[in-house]
Amino acid sequence: MRKHIVACLALTLALVLTLSCVSLAEGFTAYNPPIVETTAGKLRGFMNGSTYVFRGIQYAQAKRFMAPEPVDPWEGVKDAQTYGPVSPVLDATPFSDSLVNQDEFVWPHRYWVQDENCLNLNVWTQHLDKDARKPVIVFFHGGGFDNGSSIEAYAYDGNNLSVFGDVVVVTVNHRLNVFGMLDLSAYGEQYKGSANNTMKDLIASLTWIHENIESFGGDPNNVMVFGQSGGSTKTALLYHIPAAEGLFHKAAAHSSGNITTMEPGDSARIAQLVLEKFGIAPDEVEKLNDISARELMLAGYEARDQVSKELGRNVRFRPTYDEDYITTEFASFSNDYPMMIGSVWSERIGTLHKGTGKNEWADAEVEAKLTEVFGEDKDEIMAEFTRLFPEKKRQDVLYYDAARRGQVRDALAARMKGITAPVYAFLFAYEAPVNGGITPFHCSELTYVFHNAEFSECRFATGASPEALKVQDTMARAWINFAYTGNPSQEGLEWLPYNETSNNGTMVFDTNSAFTILDDQKLCELMLKHM
C-alpha cells in the first residue's frame, strides 16, 4: 500500500512538473518574451509582472522638415524593449539653488538619448488578444513645444495605470521646437505645412494606434487622449484638426486647455532669419539638412528671440492655424467628443517657488502676511476663500493660482460653445506631506493620474502615505472611467458636467475629494488685483 501511495505521489509530482514546464514553455518569460504583429512587422516586448511592455515603437518616419510617413516594413522581429530616442532639446536647466533641487526631488526626471528620428511610442497592456478591446489611454507630454519627452518624468510610466484600470496605456514622442514648427512653406511645395509637423507627428501616432492597437488588446474605437501643460494644448488642438476624426474619442486637458498658436508671419520670419544665419539662399533650402541638430536648434531660438524683439511681444514655437490642417473653429466631428479640463492648486506660485514653511506659521504671522499681500481686500478675500475651501488653512490662499483658474474657465467656456458632448471641470488640490508640505505644483497631478504614488522615485515626492494612495486611487479611477464610458463618475463620487452659467460644477481632488460648485470668479478677481 505504501509503495502504491509513493508511486502515485511520484506520478503526480512528475505530472505537475511536466505541466509547469509546458506552461513556462508556452507562456512569456524573460527567455521567451511576447511578440506582436503590426502592420509593418513583428515586435518583441517584455513582461513586467502581468503587464506586456513594448518600448520605443516607431510609429512613423520623417526626413528633416518633412511630414511624417508610414514606417517601411521589415522582415523578422524587431526589439521593442528599450525606450526610443527623444526630440533634440536645449541643455537641461542646472540645479543652481535649493528650490530647483527641491523641484527635482518632488518631480524627478529622466534624461535620454536625443535624435531627430524620435517618432516612437511606448505601450503597456494586460492583453495581447485582439478580442480584448480595452480602452486606450494616450498621453501627450508637457514641456511646451520646446522641451520634454514621453519618459522625461518617472511619473509617466504607464505600467501601474494599465494594471489598475485594465487599460492600454500609450505615451508618445514627437518632434519639438525648430524640428517640428519651422515654416519653410515659402521655399517649396515639399515644405507645405512644415509649421505644423509637430501636430502631424501626433496625428501619425494616433493613426498607428488606430491601425495596430488591437494587437495589443486595445479598442481603436475607444481612444482617450490626455495631455498636461504643452500637452494640454496639443490635446485641445486635436479638436481643431479634421484629420483627427475617428482617431480619438475623448480627451482631458491638464493645466488650462487653452490654445496658444504662432502667427503664420512669425514662423516664416524665423525661417528667413535661420537661412540668413547660415548664408543659405532661398533656392538652396536643402542645405539646412547639412547643419547639425544643435546648431540648427540654437539658430532657431536666436531667430525666435530676434522676432520677439522686432514685434515687441513674446514669440514661442507653437503650431499655426493655417485653416487647412488646423482650423480656427472646432472641427465638426468633435462636437460629440467629451472633454475634461482642469488645473492644479498652485501651478507655478506654490511652495516650490515661494519656499516651504507655511504650515509652521503662527496665527499672527499668517494674518500679517495676508494683510501685506491683500491689503484692504483681505477680509473680503478670506470670506470668499473660506466659503469655497473650508478645509484649507487661511494661508493656503497665498498659493492659489487665480490666474490659471481664469484660463481654465475660459477654456471651459470656449469648449462648451455649440457642442453636444459633456465637458467636465477639475481642480487638483492635494498637498503632498513632503518637506513640510508641497502645494500642488505644475505637473504634480500626473503622478496620481498614472497611479504612481508608490513608483520608483515618485514615492519620495508623494510621501506614499495612505492619503496619497487614496488620492491616486480616486484620480486614476476617474480617468479610467472616463476612458471606458466618457463619464468620469465613480462609486460614491458623482461628477456632473460643467455649466458655466448655472453651477460651475467642479471635481476637487484632495484628501477628501468632492464635487463642488466652484464659483471662484469673485475670489480670483479680488486676488488678481494684488498679483
Residue 264: its pLDDT value, please? 87
Per-residue pLDDT reduced to its tens digit, 289-325: 999 999 999 999 999 999 999 999 999 999 999 999 9
How many angstroms from the chain centroid is the CA of residue 456? 19
Residue 339: its pLDDT value, please? 97
Residue 93: its pLDDT value, please? 61
Residue 21: its pLDDT value, please? 35
Dist. CA 508–CA 519, nearest whole Å: 12
Which of the residues in the chain have pLDDT under 50? 1-26, 96, 98
Sequence ranges of the domains in the chain: 264-311, 338-528
The region that residue 115 occupies, defined by phi over 0 for left and psi between -120 and 50 for alpha, beta otherwise, is: beta
- Written as one string, the DSSP assignment of 371-417 is HHHHGGGHHHHHHHHHHH-TTS-GGGGGG--HHHHHHHHHHHHHHHT
Residue 257: its pLDDT value, please? 77
∠56-58-64 over CA atoms, to 5°? 115
| Residue (of 228, 225, 212) closest to 54 by Cα position | 212
Residue 258: its pLDDT value, please? 81
HSE value, Cβ hemisphere, 13 Å, CA-based, for 514 = 9
∠145-150-156 over CA atoms, to 5°? 125
Dist. CA 342–CA 407, nearest whole Å: 9
Superfamily the domain 338-528 falls into: Alpha/Beta hydrolase fold, catalytic domain (3.40.50.1820)
Residue 101: its pLDDT value, please? 56
Q: Report the amino acid identity of residue 86.
A: V
Per-residue pLDDT reduced to its tens digit, 323-335: 999 999 999 999 9
Residue 6: its pLDDT value, please? 39
Residue 193: its pLDDT value, please? 95
| Residue (of 418, 437, 498, 431) closest to 468 by Cα position | 431
Residue 382: its pLDDT value, please? 98
Dist. CA 181–CA 178, nearest whole Å: 5
